[in-house]
Amino acid sequence: MTNTHRRDFTSVRPSKNWKEVYLDGSPEKEKQQHEIWAQEHAAIQKMVGQQIGTIMRGQHASPLHSVRVVLEPYDGLPEFARQGFLKEKKILTGTARFSTGSSVPEKDDSHPGVRGLAVALRGPDGPRQDFLTVNMSWFFKNTSEVMTIVRAQAAASKAPSAQSKSTMLEVTAKALGAERAQFLLDRIGNQLAKPVYSLAAEDYFGTMPIRWGPYAVKPCFLSLNPAGQPSPTSPTYLRDGLKARLREQELAFELCLQFYEDDQRTPIEDLTNPWQVDAVPVARLTMPRQDLDAPAGTSREQAAEELSFSPWNTHGHEPVGEIGRARKSIYGLSAKTRGACMHMTPQVD
């Protein structure tokens, strides 16, 4: 296990000159569009729910495990990094939920999929702070593109399996043009083909900017844990691996930040490309040694399935950009549709 990522802030040139752009040039028109997409997304969530007999999360419906976490801010941070909960150097505690990105539960951990790490934190007397991250550093250009992929996946799931790939391409190309469709589907394919041997050894990225005082940052959790075994032996190898490691030892990630510097290297509105600046560590996320099969572990697991995680559970680190604003409507309705619990209960605190 390495102890830390490079704590060198000298290369960071944070700028306050970032700007958000609204869809159709107006916050009101954009909100209307986001609510339409939230309704459409929830309709697909219900349709999937009817197929599988229960309404689950609209995305990341497949849980891998939920664990107890502690976030400890580092000493000696430069002033520009010391914002929000880092300003008061508060230790936060809570729950992290590992998931697979699909909208149906997967029985086999080797099933291809993006892996999620959603963290819900709270200080002793402070408000809640969530971070939602995935094991890929890129995302889509805007919500319109995301909704195209969601529609294409829904259409592909209804097509005979031999035609599911061509259905995905057809629906995506019709909306985005052949070139962009092929680019995105190739990229998704490459991401899904990437084997994951251990949840603890992956790096997880927020991919979307959030407010950091007057700055905008992309947060990520970079692993400090050893690599996994490259030969999965059971369909629950990711869950078993996490359980086994946590029974013996603590696991740790570093909360790292990339700061907005300029529109070329760190664009706010188009999330297609990862930001081209260093990620600097500001806090340590520890998963203390714990028995996930003990009653406290299983009740945390159950409570985290019922809980709503959202980048809008925040106090000062609100999402920045069109995709971030869309997530307010979409996550709210997805949570309501599945009857999620909006507040942290003692089981996940």
- Where does this chain bind ligand HEM (CB under 6 A)? 41, 57-60, 97, 99, 116, 118, 132-134, 139, 143, 146, 206-208, 308-309, 323, 326-327, 330-331, 334-335, 338, 340
Rank residues 81 and 326 by Cβ distance to ligand HEM and give the closer one. 326
β pairing state of 115-122 and 92-100: antiparallel
Q: How many CB atoms lie within 10 A of CB 241?
A: 21
User: What is the smallest separation between the CB atom of 231 and ligand HEM, expressed in angstroms?
Assistant: 27
User: What is the smallest separation between the CB atom of 319 and ligand HEM, expressed in angstroms?
Assistant: 9
Nearest Cα residue to 310 out of 45, 71, 118: 118
Rank residues 56 and 251 by Cβ distance to ligand HEM and give the closer one. 56
User: What is the smallest separation between the CB atom of 103 and ligand HEM, expressed in angstroms?
Assistant: 8
Residue 14: both structure tokens together: 């944070």
Rank residues 93 and 310 by Cβ distance to ligand HEM and give the closer one. 310
Cβ–Cβ < 8 Å for 341, 307:
yes
Rank residues 249 and 272 by Cβ distance to ligand HEM and give the closer one. 272
User: What is the smallest separation between the CB atom of 309 and ligand HEM, expressed in angstroms?
Assistant: 4
β pairing state of 251-259 and 280-287: antiparallel
User: What is the smallest separation between the CB atom of 49 and ligand HEM, expressed in angstroms?
Assistant: 11
User: What is the smallest separation between the CB atom of 8 and ligand HEM, expressed in angstroms?
Assistant: 25
User: What is the smallest separation between the CB atom of 332 and ligand HEM, expressed in angstroms?
Assistant: 9
Rank residues 82 and 311 by Cβ distance to ligand HEM and give the closer one. 311
Rank residues 77 and 335 by Cβ distance to ligand HEM and give the closer one. 335
Task: Classify residue 15 by its DSSP letter.
Answer: -
233's torsion region: left (phi>0), alpha (psi -120 to 50) or beta? Answer: alpha
State residue 52 phi and psi, 5-degree precision: -100, -5
Nearest Cα residue to 222 out of 200, 244, 190: 200
- Angle ∠(45,132,67) on CA atoms, nearest 5: 100
Rank residues 14 and 116 by Cβ distance to ligand HEM and give the closer one. 116
Rank residues 77 and 154 by Cβ distance to ligand HEM and give the closer one. 154
User: What is the smallest separation between the CB atom of 159 and ligand HEM, expressed in angstroms?
Assistant: 22
Alpha-helical regions (H) of the chain: 27-52, 143-158, 164-176, 178-193, 237-248, 295-306, 322-337
Rank residues 90 and 148 by Cβ distance to ligand HEM and give the closer one. 148
Dihedral sign for Cα atoms in the order 341, 342, 344, 345: negative
Single-letter code of the amino acid located at 166: S
H-run or E-run covering 128: strand 128-134
User: What is the smallest separation between the CB atom of 284 and ligand HEM, expressed in angstroms?
Assistant: 20
Buried b (16+ CB within 10 A) or exposed e, 155-174: bbbeeeeeebeebbbebbbe
Nearest Cα residue to 325 out of 344, 340, 310, 338: 310
